[in-house]
Structure 1
């Protein structure tokens, strides 16, 4: 894992983005961006206000009209907007963790992909040239070097937004809040409700199937991201909640951050039944990581290793977004074959 990407992931636990939405006033029924097709905008759009807080500065944001030219600097935000049928209001995107979901590929292929510079940054000049009016993604991607600071963006009429579900205490309920917030910002609240309902329905089916599973019988799970001297594993936050909703028990669920480094000795002591290995484009091949775990003599007596119960999970699936209900279902099948 690159130093920058590791910094982004480890930063998940300290990200805050408080949103308080207030409504008044109606926007135009239609918006049109350069080089895009005309899109119907909900007549229910109301002015949106919230406080952007990245831990360094707090900025009051007021959205008086639905954005026309959005830039997304994370895969989860890209797919959230595409799920809301906002592809023709997106003028740039970057930072894919995994291949885009098939149902969004046609729309995604029409969006310019911003070239990455050193350290997984984008060019500030390229960003500015797009003349965006909305930007969101990883909190660490919205900086003076890449987009301008949040306060600068607001002064220039650009709406900065960071998902609340990146916080270390978030759950899938927080993801629903973020989707609803985006629905309000872009004037498509009904579509946001539709996306949320679909996710809730899929998750409720899993919860129904788990009613007969006792707490003491739940599968012990570890998510391994990377590391050979120590292991980077999933701790608190949304990924932990997804494991719980799938019927698993995260052996590192008591950690304070979403991703933390632990010793291999502690893995042996906690003895997971299942190991999930994250797969992402910027990291080592997932096959290499699995091979390392299997050949690590310190882990030879761990149940998951002995029983070859090692599986792959996409990093994008564990990030906040529309993939979350799908990965809960997939993990549930792994835990209870």
Structure 2
């Protein structure tokens, strides 16, 4: 169950128009990432641009409304293998504007503002809205985040799962499935609490430190690592781990020499199916860590304290809670 204090914190993010309602009172209006959106009824269909939106809609029992998906980092959650196999994947990465529009969706649900935003790589929100297609961007990518800085954006405050839960609850309201939304949030809250309790029971070293490596344009060049305010920063803070990267950027580029000087006790590396860069391959990451003259001398590499985590869990998504669980489990098997 969700404790009362946490529940109040989560509810503070939600418009009063649908709080604690059994059914949605249409028309429903929301302020989504700075844009007012309005629904006269539940959308009959949706295209997702981002795995986060896809898996949330599946989790809300709305797979029958999804007519196309795109932007995948990892395989779909196992419980959705069957339903996902029957839904068209428009692209592994960015879909074209035409491919999305051709599905004639009532809603485009996007994980990242840089896909569907002011300079969206797929299209701007205005381009979709001019065609009568409403857009929804997951709040976890814009609440406490400035995406105008370029790249993956900069956090203006620390990520919290409350932003993910806000997205779940708003999508549940949009599609009039509030009960499913409440159940999903409650389940994630309980799993979050269990993972934190597991780490607390381990009596980890006081100054345990880590770095999260997402990818690199090439395994031999400076990596994209997690800043202190994103989803990995949240995981580390909750499990009592110090992030050696103190940047507010979501995924800053930091030199290996600098990381080696910080000498983290733990290295968490992203596992993904995406292949934009050679270092997207986890074997490339492992080979580099063990062969490079700088990284192979790091304490974490010497001690074998390298943890693999699904890349999608390192983003601000529902999967972040799964990442929190997997990291807590990994800590039970490591020695420091």
TM class by smaller structure? 0.7 to 0.9
Contact 1:124 1:145 in 2 (8 A): no
How far residue 243 of structure 1 moved from its aligned partner, in angstroms, is 2.6
Q: 2:236 aligns with which of 237, 243, 250?
A: 243
- State the SS of the aligned residue for 1:311: strand
- Aligned-partner SS, 2:53: helix
| Aligned equivalent of 2:265 | 273
- Offset at 1:45? 4.6
Q: Which residue of 1 aligns with 2:7?
A: none
Matching residue of 1:36: none
Unaligned runs of at least 5 residues, structure 2? 1-12, 146-154
Report deviation, 1:106: 1.1
SS at match of 2:37: strand
Q: Quick check: 1:275–1:310 contact (8 Å CA) kept in 2?
A: yes
Alpha carbons of structure 1 residues 313 and 212: separation in structure 2 relative to 1, 3 Å: closer
Aligned counterparts, 1:1-337, within 5 A: 21=15, 23=17, 43-53=23-33, 59-115=35-91, 120-137=93-110, 138-142=112-116, 148-166=123-141, 167=145, 168=155, 169-211=158-200, 217-227=206-216, 228-235=220-227, 236-252=229-245, 254-283=246-275, 284=278, 285-337=281-333
| TM-aligned CA distance change 1:145 to 1:288, over 3 Å | closer
Q: How many residues end up aligned between the 2 structures?
A: 294
Deviation at 1:213, TM superposition (A): 6.2
Post-superposition offset of 1:249: 2.3
Aligned-pair distance for 1:282?
2.1
Deviation (angstroms), 1:279: 1.7
CA contact (8 A) 2:300 2:306 kept: yes
DSSP 3-state at the match of 2:82: helix
User: 2:241 & 2:23 partners in 1: Cα distance?
Assistant: 43
The separation in 1 between residues aligned to 2:65 and 2:186, in whole angstroms, is 23
Q: Which runs of 5+ in 1 are unaligned?
A: 1-18, 25-41
Q: TM-score, normalised by structure 1?
A: 0.80
For residues 297-331 of structure 1, the C-alpha deviation after alignment (integer angstroms, 9 at most, x for no partner) is: 11233110111211211111222333222211110
Q: Separation in 2 of the partners of 1:217 and 1:134?
A: 47
For 2:135 and 2:16, locate their aligned partners in 1 and report how far apart those are by CA, in whole Å: 17
Moved more, 82-91 or 233-242: 233-242
Structure 1 position 272, deviation (Å)? 0.9
TM-score, normalising length: structure 2: 0.80
Q: Is the 8 A contact 1:20 1:50 kept in 2?
A: no
Is 1:45–1:186's contact at 8 Å kept on the other side of the alignment? no
Stretch deviating more after TM superposition (229-238 or 166-175)? 166-175
Give secondary structure in 2 for the equivalent of 1:121: coil
Q: Distance in 1 between the 2:303 and 2:204 partners?
A: 22
CA distance in 2, matches of 1:327, 1:145: 28
3-state SS, counterpart of residue 89 of structure 2: coil
Match of 2:5 in 1: none
